[in-house]
Amino acid sequence: MIKVGIIGATGYAGAELVRLLSGHPGAEIVWYGSRSYVDQNFTDIYRNMFAIVEGKCLDDNLPKLAREADVIFTATPQGYLASVLTEEILSQTKIVDLSADYRIKDVHIYEKWYGIEHKSPQFIPEAVYGLCEINREQVKKARLVANPGCYTTCSILTAYPLVKEGLIDPQTLIIDAKSGTSGAGRGAKVANLFCEVNENIKAYGVATHRHTPEIEEQLGYAADQEITVSFTPHLVPMNRGILATEYASLKKVTLPDGSVGYPSTEMVRAAYEKYYGDETFIRLMDPGVCPETRWVEGSNFVDIGFVIDERTHRVVMMGALDNRKVFAWRRYSPKPRPGIGTKQPERERGEAERERRKRRDGREKTEKRKGIWSFISEP
């Protein structure tokens, strides 16, 4: 049984971790860290966990927790973990940080975009960006995992195969993303009050959103060059969910018949299948089907679709995920569990999707997963 500690357990992301890990057969939560609710029963804050969770909220004493837990999740604001992390702590436990403290490799870029000094940059080089569909093997071996942001997970996964295969010009990438209000966290903010959000949609962080450099860095690795993207997030009046609509110019490539031209729908689809065909938590939409946030609500899935605009020689890529689940669940679940994350569109799956499922379902089911990251890094 893996002993788990959670710092920031009463925030939205932390509470999702509590709910999901409480039902995980290989995990035991030994620490519900919450600076705001010390000595209060966790179920006094989240009544939906009554008779499921038994435990009081503790403080955020990371050195003490490191001696008691095999793995620690820090669901905390930017700057917290960087200010307290030491070599002694990392020598005793493994950490998954849900903040941005270790996502960006260039500390100067982090400090510029987040406006704070990084207190422990010596740990940045070893931190593994925890996007398992891309870095699964590195995550397995890591002692410090930088959990991706919500917008970034959706934005990166939606464009990654086409960037990696050189089918689009990454310098032309425009990302228009929309998120539910829970993405801003549980703290009280006037801008997130019901009367401010209801019957309204607005852009925010235009040209300045802090997830921009994270997207650029990760897609830059895929493109093998530095890239610049235009990223604009929007707030929509729903509790949870993200929809990213991304636009990029197609590049002329060598076609199957030997001629040079723009990639076809079949070529783009093949690129997605190459990288995601066997991924449990990525669902590729049938041709002409656009993802919707309601289809992924409460699930681990990222639904991805695309349409090629023949007139402009651009591709429109679309991705949808549940922003609260991306923090607390997608990266750390070995497989989907019955009754969790099963909401799907009521439609016939295409032949390609059925074949993908056959491949996935035909995998060896009895393989033992070993090591502390087994329930974290594998689908």
Please state the rounded mean pLDDT for residues 34-58: 94
- Terminal Cα-to-Cα distance of the chain (whole angstroms): 19
For 118-152, the pLDDT digits (tens) are: 999 999 999 999 999 999 999 999 999 999 989 99
- pLDDT value for 221: 98
The string over 54-68, giving b where at least 16 C-beta atoms fall within 10 Å of a residue's C-beta and e elsewhere, is ebebbebebeebbee
Query: How far are the Cα atoms of 104, 199, 219, 272, 342 from residue 331, in angstroms, in the given order?
Result: 18, 33, 19, 20, 17
Fold classified for 2-148: Rossmann fold (3.40.50)
> Strands 94-97, 71-74: parallel, antiparallel or unpaired by DSSP?
parallel
Does domain 150-361 match CATH 3.40.462.20? no
Q: Where are the domains of the chain?
A: 2-148, 150-361
Does residue 164 have a pLDDT over 70? yes
Q: Which of 78, 57, 97, 58 is closest to 376 using CA atoms?
A: 97
Q: Strand, coil or helix: what is 28? A: strand
Catalogue the active-site residues: 150
- pLDDT value for 357: 52
Instruction: Tell me the C-alpha distance between 265 and 20, whole Å.
Output: 38
Rounded to two decimals, the pTM is: 0.85
Q: Do domains 2-148 and 150-361 have the same CATH topology?
A: no
For 242-255, the pLDDT digits (tens) are: 999 999 999 999 99
- pLDDT value for 338: 36
Name 320's Cβ contacts closer than 8 Å, sequence gap at least 6. Answer: 154, 241, 242, 243, 244, 291, 292, 293, 295, 296, 302, 303
Q: How confident is the model at residue 2 (pLDDT cuts 50, 70, 90)?
A: very high
Does residue 43 have a pLDDT over 70? yes
Unique residue bearing structure tokens 């093998």: 224
- pLDDT value for 334: 41
Does residue 107 have a pLDDT over 70? yes
